[in-house]
Amino acid sequence: MRNRLHTLMLSAGVLAVAGLSLAACDPAPEAESPGAEVASTRSDATLTAALGDQSEAAGFRDVLDNSGLATALEGVGPYTVFAPTDAALGTDADGLRDEAMSAEAAALVRAHIVPGSLGRADINAAIDASGNDQAQMRTMGDDMLTFTRDGETIVVTASDGASARLSGTEVQARNGVIQPIDAVLVKTEAAE
């Protein structure tokens, strides 16, 4: 049986993760090699449960609950969830917790999910191999996300121009991956 959490070590050159840390728990690295950087944690929990463990993604988890999609993220999947931090959701988290806003909550959540398991190393590899320094993935909301790099940070941009940077630490959950992001990938009209 796997440990509930253990740390994956990736080269520092691949990821220099800045910003908020959303690790579910203290990563408690099992082994650390010189020059390596903690880039990922692994969890036996489902995506839904692992999101609940994210100290700075409480708002998104609440939105997920309100959307009715929590059971889907407990299922087989796998999915990759780009989870906006509480700071990124801001006051919208309050509105999207409202039961009357469950459709909006579901639209937001779907816009932040892509099929399969995407680690940052995978995204970087795709950008490197693309020839035009970008890679695309389709969301469960039928939108296209474009990945680029700003320095060593991965930037993800939706078709409406909403853009976020991958932040914190990715979590490899039992049925997918959580990638914390520092902004929301859909625009509100007030933000126009």
Partner 1 sequence: MKSHITLVSTLALSVALALPALAADQDRGNGNGNGRGQGARAERVQDGPGNGNRGNPGRGNDNARKDDRGPPAARGNGNGPVPPQVQPRPRDRGNGADVRDADRRADARARVTVPVGRDDRPEPVVTLFRDGRVERRALIDGCPPGLAKKNNGCLPPGQARQMRREALGRYDGYWLRGDEGYRYRYDDGYMYRYDRNGGLTGWLPALGGALGLGNVWPQQYSYQPAPQYYSQYYGLNDRYSYRYADGVLYGVDPQTQAIQSVAALLTGQPWTVGQAMPQGYDVYNVPYQYRGQYADSPQSWYRYSDGYVYQVDPTTRLVQAVIQLLV
Report yes or no: 133 and 139 within 8 Å, Cβ to Cβ. no
- CA 10/CA 12 separation, integer angstroms: 6
With contacts defined by CB under 8 A, name the span among 11-19, 30-38, 52-60, 109-117 that binds partner 1. Answer: 109-117
Q: Write the DSSP string, 127-183.
A: HHHHSSS-EEEE-TTS-EEEEEEETTEEEEE-TTS-EEEB-S-EEEETTEEEEEESS
Q: How far is the CB of 55 from partner 1 (least distance, A)?
A: 23
Beta pairing, strands 170-173 & 36-43: parallel
Residue with smaller CB distance to partner 1, 34 or 129: 129
Residue with smaller CB distance to partner 1, 57 or 123: 123
Q: How far is the CB of 71 from partner 1 (least distance, A)?
A: 5
Q: Which of 62, 86, 143, 182 binds partner 1 (CB under 8 A)?
A: 143
- What is residue 29's three-state secondary structure? coil
Report yes or no: 39 and 7 within 8 Å, Cβ to Cβ. no
Residue with smaller CB distance to partner 1, 55 or 94: 94
- CA 11/CA 36 separation, integer angstroms: 5
Site string for partner 1, 56-95 (x = CB under 8 A): -----------xxx-xx-xxxxxxx--------------x
Q: Which of 27, 59, 84, 141 binds partner 1 (CB under 8 A)?
A: 141
Q: How far is the CB of 180 from partner 1 (least distance, A)?
A: 17
- CA 175/CA 90 separation, integer angstroms: 28
With contacts defined by CB under 8 A, name the span among 13-21, 53-61, 131-139, 163-171 that binds partner 1. Answer: 131-139
Q: How far is the CB of 184 from partner 1 (least distance, A)?
A: 10
Distances 98 to 49, 51, 68, 90, 184 between C-alpha atoms, Å: 21, 19, 12, 15, 18
Torsion sign, CA atoms 105, 106, 111, 115: positive
- Binding interface with partner 1 (CB under 8 A): 46, 67-69, 71-72, 74-80, 95, 101-108, 110-111, 113-118, 122-123, 125-126, 130, 135-138, 140-144, 147, 159-160, 172, 174-175, 186-190, 192
